[in-house]
Structure 1
Amino acid sequence: MNRTGLRFTLRLIPFLDSVEGFEDGLVKLGDRRWLAWHPDVVSALFRNDRALSHPPSRTLSPLLGNRSVLWLDGAEHAAYRRTLTPLLRGNRYQALVDDVVERAIAELPSDPVGLAAWTRTLTLRIIGRIVFGVDDDELLAAFTRWLDRRLGSRVRTLAHRYLARGTTRFDPHLDRMLLHRARTAEPPALAACLPEEDLRDQVVSLLFAGHETTASATAWTLYWIDRTPGLAEELTDEALLDATIAESLRLSPPATLAGNRMSGEGMVITPSIYLAHRRAATYADPHVFDPGRAQPPPGAFFPFGGGVRRCPGKDLALLEIRTIVTALLRHRHVRLSSADCTPQLRGAAMAPPPSVAMVATCRR
């Protein structure tokens, strides 16, 4: 690993900020690895995605497992997406999302709560209901503790990645609880359609991918609404709400990177969502939050990834963000504390730091 690759690994956000002005949108991270964010390069990668392989994340694969749909390729990956995508169609779950969100808002204390922690708990409840068919806060709390021990800070993430390389980071007791709940779900959505030997990896992948980035996107949307005077009162306009969410996804994407692509010759290219969304040649005043921006060109906006790895839960995630923001602003006056909003990384995901707290008082 060269010095550039080391900076990329150890201090991801400061490194991305330092190369933001590179007009060609490419940085060499190692002998055979590049970081890319030029829209033409990104578009070409996504167009030719089926011809490329997708090396697993060295941070996440020991957690999610080598059989996760996130790393499979070719016909096997396509078959799993056909199986799992219907499970994540947003329009199936409006009533479920409404129910979970309304209860979570009703349970909000008058004291400050951590914004990112609250949205993670809420979105994990939603995907837990979808996967398991029931509420099981004890199981989901155990899952959260397991993730936090490994991804709860940058130091933990790096230790997890480098100090025990080549081993899985499974928790056998947690896995038994997750598998039991998946097998006894009504209806048994996953257990009935997946091979038994793959069930653990797909359950964990769905729980992780189905809540982590959605929670971050929701928290960032609430952050930018709070920082934009008068915007909250205007969000009864659905078009403005959608534009606000899109602009938050641009300026504060919940995932900084869009996975790895490898050619047959072994060249690896990693698209950077964070840098593509802040490219001055594409966006005027790219650091300014502006829901009125025009539609970006292809390859310039991809908060849910692209190509064959485009997130199958995109519609569900957008449904959750809209529902949470709308319900919260309808029932509560929301104010965020802390002027410091240095992003916290959990793997390559980016959330507001724990110092950002939400005070939500009842509307009279």
Structure 2
Amino acid sequence: MQLPNRLKTPSFLQKLQWIFDPIKYMKSAVQQYPDIFTGEVVGFGDNLVFVNHPQAIKEILINDRKAFAGSSKANRILQPLVGNSSLLVLDGESHKQRRQLLMPSFHGERMRAYGQLIINLTENIFSQLPLNKPFSALSTMQAISLQVILQAVFGFYEGERCQQLKHLIPTLVMELFRSPFISSFLFFPSLQRDLGSLTPWGKFLRLREQVDELLYAEIAERRQHLLPDRIDILSLLMLARDETGKAMTDQELRDEVIDLMISGHETTASAMTWGLYWILHKPEVYEKLLQELDSLGDSPDPMKIFQLPYLTAVCNETLRIYPIAIMTLPRVVQEPVEILGHRLEPGTKVIGCIYLAHQRADLYPQPKEFKPERFLERQFSPYEFLPFGGGARGCIGQALATFEMKLVLATIISRYQLSLADQRAERPQRRGLVVGPRNGVKIIITGRRMRQQSSTAMVTTPTL
């Protein structure tokens, strides 16, 4: 089969680089072939066509001839995490029906109910951090995103089961995401063998089993005492019915909740950490954002925070430089189609390269520079700016993720005086399926911040 612009690097080296440094892999490839190339990477089959031109991305995401389709086989890399019945691994009509069933749980009005919860959780966690001592912003953001998952997604506030999940969820995620080497188990099914609790995969399986046991116990208990006025996403999913009146099974509930847990923990935490890094790294951005936040007065309504234009631009620029997902989910050609002058035959796997699309100088002049103003100066199409993917397979939790990101960053910036503990540039590193900050972004809290109408006042705690 003739494939466009095959990379000449030996297959084995391509696969290693894709696992350990996907950013470098894509940068090198795009220098050879700016818009479209074929690489040999692990996890999605031997040959994968990468496209980053907006028109090509549009073609593969919403082709009205249905020339492209999702593929559970191509997405099998996710199955050890999210099971066989999650939205991420469903195809065709099953995918469409499940998405329709899930969408109401992420409606804008539902997000409003979580606003004050997110602010309170952020304040509670940050208020316990030490003053004048460096700490990991990534670890702190992971703690915040975990609490949002436990309360907004699961509806857990207290109790033994809540405490157990509070420990097990980050342990489960970290077991696979803590390094590129451990993440490689996702890409090589042959490595996924249970050789005992002391091996990486064996440990992961036992952790997953413990989480499953707790989730199924919660689902069974809640089915017996399901309250219609609960607003957590698990309860909403249990109450949801498809067009035939059928409810989701225990397995389907478990898989969707695990999906939300995985996609809402490490991904959102990484995005918020990058956001904090860029704000503190760019003093002019920091000051401008403070002025906008101060304009809302004390104890602003969460929805007013969410609507702030400069805060939105800062979050968008953060997601542009290091998007939560560096690529869309794979699509498989169903009938002969031409993309950017190249003919693709049925069976060809194609992927939209989000990271490279966000780095195009013709769309984003000086793409390496953090410039939130670019999002105030023009509107970008869903195929030029797509940090959560797009089309029918765009991230269903996008609304909650952006809502959480804005409220968490606004709460931290407006209430604390902060600085970077290390002024060296933070570099990206693969963390499972996402790209996170290599060193976790070390920051220092030097005091509480009090808003004044005429000027900004700082309450600084002296170093002991």
Q: Normalising by structure 2, report the TM-score.
A: 0.73
Instruction: Tell me if 1:28 matches 2:28.
Output: no
Matched, 1:290 2:371: yes
Of 224, 236, 240, which aligns to 1:189?
A: 236
Match status 1:164 vs 2:164: no
The answer to whether the 8 Å contact 2:426/2:439 transfers is no
State the distance in 2 between where 1:28 and 1:160 align.
21
- Deviation of the 1:23 alpha carbon: 5.4
* Cα-to-partner distance string for 1:11-70 (whole Å, 9 max, x where unaligned): 312111212335541111146421111111101112128651234534432121121111
**Structure 1 residues 258-282: Cα deviation after superposition (integer angstroms, max 9, x where no partner):** 1111122211111111111001222
Q: Report the equivalent of 1:13.
A: 23
Q: Distance in 2 between matches of 1:314 and 1:197?
A: 23
Of 353, 357, 362, the match for 2:438: 353
The correspondence for 2:266, drawn from 201, 207, 212, is 212
Give the stretch that moved more between structures: 224-233 or 185-194: 185-194
Q: CA deviation at 1:141?
A: 2.1
Shift of 1:296: 2.9
Residue 201 of structure 1 is aligned with which of 255, 276, 287? 255
Tell me the percent identity: 28
Contact 2:14–2:25 (CA<8 Å) still a contact in 1? Answer: no
Equivalent residue, structure 2, for 1:228:
282
Deviations 1:150-173 (A, max 9, x none): 121101011353252488954222
Matches within 5 A, 1:304-315: 304-315=388-399
Alignment of 1:1-364 (within 5 A): 2-3=11-12, 5-6=14-15, 7-22=17-32, 24-30=34-40, 32-48=47-63, 51-55=68-72, 56-89=74-107, 90-110=111-131, 111-135=133-157, 136-162=162-188, 163-165=190-192, 170=205, 171-184=208-221, 187=230, 188-193=235-240, 194-235=248-289, 236-237=291-292, 238-264=308-334, 265-293=346-374, 294-338=378-422, 339-363=424-448, 364=459
Deviation string, structure 1 residues 236-272 (Cα, Å, up to 9, x no partner):
4221111111111111212211111112221111111
Instruction: Select the structure of larger CA radius of gyration.
Output: 2
**Contact 2:103 2:396 (C-alpha < 8 Å) held by counterparts:** yes
Q: Which has the higher contact order (CA 8 A, sep 6+)?
A: 1
Cα distance in 2 for partners of 1:241, 1:134 equals 30
Count of aligned pairs between the two proteins: 364
The answer to whether the 8 Å contact 1:4/1:29 transfers is no
Larger displacement relative to structure 2 (234-243 or 30-39): 30-39
CA distance in 2, matches of 1:233, 1:124: 29
Q: Which amino acid aligns with 1:42?
A: I
Contact 2:38 2:50 in 1 (8 A): yes
The TM-score, its normalising length taken from structure 1, stands at 0.91
1:122-154 C-alpha deviation (Å, 9 max, x unpaired): 112112212221233431321111121112110
Structure 2, unaligned stretches of length 5 or more?
1-9, 41-45, 195-200, 241-247, 293-307, 335-345, 449-458, 460-464
AA matched with 1:189 = L
Cα offset for 1:360?
2.0
Q: Which moved more, 1:148-157 or 1:190-199?
A: 190-199
- CA RMSD for the aligned pairs? 2.4
The CA distance in 1 between the partners of 2:14 and 2:357, in whole Å, is 19
Structure 1: where are the runs of 5+ without partners?
Answer: none
Residues 360 and 20 of structure 1: CA distance in aligned 2, closer, same or farther (over 3 Å): farther
Query: Does structure 2 conserve the Cα–Cα contact (< 8 Å) formed by 1:97 and 1:323?
Result: yes
- Which shifted more, 11-20 or 117-126? 11-20
Q: Secondary structure at the residue paired with 2:237? A: coil
Q: Distance in 1 between matches of 2:106 and 2:134?
A: 32
User: How far apart, in 1, do the equivalents of 2:444 and 2:106 lie?
Assistant: 31
Write the distance in 2 (CA, Å) between the matches of 1:115 and 1:249. Answer: 17
Amino acid at match of 1:353: R
What is the distance in 2 between the residues matched to 1:8 and 1:218?
A: 24
Task: Give the aligned residue type for 2:179.
Answer: S
Moved more, 138-147 or 30-39: 30-39
Q: Match of 1:28, SS?
A: strand
Cα offset, 1:305, TM superposition: 0.5
